[in-house]
Chain A
Amino acid sequence: MIRQINRVTSVIVLLLLALIINLSYIQVFKAGDLRSQASNQRVTLTEYSRERGPILLGSSAIVESTPTTDALKYLREYADGSTYASITGFYSVVYGATGIESEANDVLAGNDSRFFVDRLQQLFANREPKGGAIRLTIDPDTQAAAMKSLNGRTGAVVAIDPTTGAILALASSPSFDPNLLSSHDAQDIQNTYEELNADPKQPMLNRPLAMTLPPGSTFKLVTAAAALESGNYTAGSELPGPAQINLPGTDVQLGNWTGKACGAGNTTTLQGALEISCNTAFAWLGMELGANAISEQAKKFGFESEFDVPMTAAISRFPADLNKPQTAMSAIGQFDVRATALQMAMVAAGIANDGVVMKPYLISQVLGPDLTVLQNTNPSAFGRAMSVENSKILRDMMVGVVAKGTASNAKISGISVGGKTGTAENTPGEPAHAWFVGLAPSEQSKVAVAVVLQNGGGAAEVSGNALAAPIAAAVMRAALKK
């Protein structure tokens, strides 16, 4: 009997060891797999059990977590949510996070390695871990002015501090209320999301960063910069500016929006051509400079580069391998040239900042759970786009555009504003996109701005001035506290 008892004991102990082996498999090797299962609520519950850090503008929070009494212990609340939706993004149980909520998640959730000491202290004090905070570069007045001026129309506004690259406004319209997607009611969230997703106006599209459109005549700034940088042109250089020119090798006639010649004797100056947005002069200039020169100039302003602000902006394009007619069209911002509002604001900012393009950014500071500053963002240069002298010349030309030319609606009394309008036809038959890019004050710029109204409508070149310039004026006024 003793032998049998020993055998039975061995079998039972082996069965218990089998449990340990099986548990090791589940809890160690299979654990990651099980945690990522869609029906596993634990990851979400853990995330929501911590007080997520706030997103700050100056000293006031535009996003914060407030305690609740339900299973998800904190609710994300967005003050003035739709104004900042394109920046903050949302934080959803169902759809995850977007915008700063997603990009700065490690800090906000308190997982960032910089919080190691904090977390250790929390561990020993047995306190619930708390997330860090993010302070943004956004100026609330400028952002509000942008959203108010857009007034629900489909479009985008970007305002940048040209000296640092700090983004003062990043407006997308129409917008949405992130509170509705960040609630704790999954069904509600799903309904709202599907509704927003089905909306033809795409309220969840982050237009200033994600939408690339032909920049139209605003791109003439880049062509003008290329001309000045080539050393062969000055503001006063004479250019041919007939009512229309033939694109070589085709029978296409490219005309001016006025239908007239740009100056007496079918000639104009570089300055004059920019002021009245002379297509024929810039098309000719483009062909003279060559596609490479314009492409190089565009790249120096940030085309073909990726920018993480920290959300990754769509790459703005200047097409390669262009023939002469394509070069002519591209020189006036048509054909396959595509730019985001952010990119066009960077063009203005580069001109404004004595030729140096700064990298755009949204996060000014990373703060710990107790709001001590852990990291300041140091502005960094993307590169020099033009010489100091040429940038000064181009600024003065832009001032002329507002003072005497096509951008009269961008004027701000007492301040010399520089700018350039644009109207871009994307698809024939559809309303054109109305653009404006500008800077102020021209002597020592504190703000550079780009405004675009998608399919804004209006007739030909006037729509940039009629529709976009007033928005830019309002935004610049707000940024300059005028």
Chain B
Amino acid sequence: MSETLNRYRVSTRRSAELALLIGAWLIGVFAWILVDSATGDSSLGGWTSLLSAGVLLLLTHAVVRWQAPYADPLLLPSVAALNMLGLAMIHRLDIAATERAVSNGSPMPTPDVYLQLTWMVVGLVAFMLVLAFVRDHRRLQRFTFTAGFAGIALLFFPLLPFIGSQINGARLWISVLGFTFQPGELAKVALTIFFSGFLVSRRHSLALVHNKILGVGIPRGKDVGPLLLVWFAALLVLILERDLGTSLLLFGLFIVMLYVATGRRSWVLIGALLLSVGGALAYRAFGHVRVRFDVWLDPFADANGAGFQIVQSLYGFANGGLFGTGWGKGYPQLVPFAKTDFITSALGEELGLMGLIAILLLFVIIVERGARAAVATRDPFGNLLAIGLTTVIGLQTFIVIGGVTRLVPLTGLTTPFLSYGGSSLVANYIIIALLIRISNAARAPEVSDADLVLRQDGSSHD
């Protein structure tokens, strides 16, 4: 009895979350101060931005405390720390851009950090709305096919005339009222919901072997059909939009979820096979895939051309070394797309290997905590959704950071919570909100509050 009581009091861990959240905010504040003092920038805009970010994080914490009191206490502080570090680096790169404009005599660029801050607000509001409206994650299963359609539709948006917009050779964005948005980022959330819902209802029949081709069990068409349809549609769109990163991510996600749902390793083998065949075909069919692959093999062969981005990125990492140059003291602006795809390179230059290991450990914590929610929740849909969402964040981190460090070919994705980009930030906050919701369900005691009060009162009779 008193065990239950203690568990109720200790296991919410909301105060720990609050303390960690303040710590995460302070990391960002110190980073910002260091940037300003190293670069001699003293614009007061920073303080209002930092304060509003802090207030908003506190508000988010309050909503978690109210809506999901048993939620995992590490998830929100971890992503907040990443978000704050990203803001500081974007601010730092804004200063570099301003300096360059001054020396070139070109017009002053608009700082990106305030827009990113606005997107942080949107992301946290989305986070709170998800917590408020999705009171029970199991209800999402009802929207399986809606989510599937929505996912495909979101992926298709950029191909539409008028609102679709092409940037740097990829058609991933929609442009409305001057705001650009990358609907593919939200699509990955919708498709994860679809995969989870669909696989939960069909996992047994998918696991049963009905036909064998060359010794490999193939499930019935009607079980696997809709899945493949959605998946192919997704890949087709991505090929048309030239978004290799999201293709790879969705492919990996699909394989992982099939494997988790069916427990059959053959899916992993089939996936690896499809990936190699698909990769080989794409290499032959598409020039841009070929360039990416060749640059991966030898970026220095064309260090000032196709290999420029990755070579500059490697120079940035090398300049950072073990401890980094310190905030504001490196040259991250020399790397193209330093605010978006290559923000890891910027962080690696100024914070060094030590800083990057800390950042990667934050991602390890997020993955581990997401997986813990996936294991602990009591319903199969929750299991699948949580591991799916966790995989999205973990895999995306691996694909993009692996790309900018030349571990894998560069495909182009945002680094979750760090990179400049509103859609990515909002989508990832929604993912964390769902994980928090699932972890809340997993960690909540099976007794209701009312129960507890009753038992507290009648404790003597036990």
Contacts and interface: CB of A to CB of B under 8 A. Distances in A.
A198 interface: no
B315 A27 contact: no
Interface in A1-36: 1-6, 8-9, 12-13, 15-20, 22-24, 26-28, 30-35
A323 interface: no
A26 B317 contact: yes
Contact of B314 (A4, A16, A17, A34): A34
13 contacts: A5-B371, A8-B371, A9-B390, A16-B367, A16-B394, A19-B360, A19-B397, A19-B401, A20-B356, A22-B405, A27-B318, A31-B318, A35-B318
A151 interface: no
Contacts of A2: 375, 383
Interface in A208-230: none
A114 B363 CA distance: 43
A15 B256 CA distance: 14
A18 B383 CA distance: 26
B377 to A, nearest CB: 10
A10 to B, nearest CB: 9
Nearest to A126: B37
A19 B364 CA distance: 11
A404 B212 CA distance: 118
Given A16-B360, A28-B321, A5 B387 contact: yes
Interface in B222-260: 256, 259-260
Contact of B398 (A19, A24, A26, A46): A19
A413 interface: no
Contact of B315 (A13, A32, A40): A40
B391 A8 contact: yes
Contacts, number: 141
Interface residues of A, number: 40
Interface in A48-77: 68-71
A32 B317 CA distance: 11
Contacts of A17: 364
Secondary structure at the B interface, as helix, strand, loop or mixed, is helix
A72 to B, nearest CB: 10
A39 interface: yes
A201 interface: no
B321 A9 contact: no
Interface string B282-309: 0000000000000000001001100000
Given A1-B384, A31-B321, A12 B261 contact: no
B123 interface: no
A260 interface: no
A5 B318 contact: no
Given A13-B394, A23-B405, A31-B317, 9 more contacts: A1-B260, A2-B383, A4-B259, A16-B367, A16-B398, A19-B405, A27-B318, A35-B315, A45-B331
B115 interface: no
A23 B348 contact: yes
Contact of A26 (B37, B263, B314): B314
Contacts of A23: 317, 348, 353, 356-357, 360, 405
B263 A4 contact: yes
A32 B331 CA distance: 17
B23 interface: no
Contact of B352 (A15, A22, A27, A41): A27
Contacts of A30: 314, 318
Contacts of A24: 353
Contact of A69 (B102, B303, B364, B391): B102
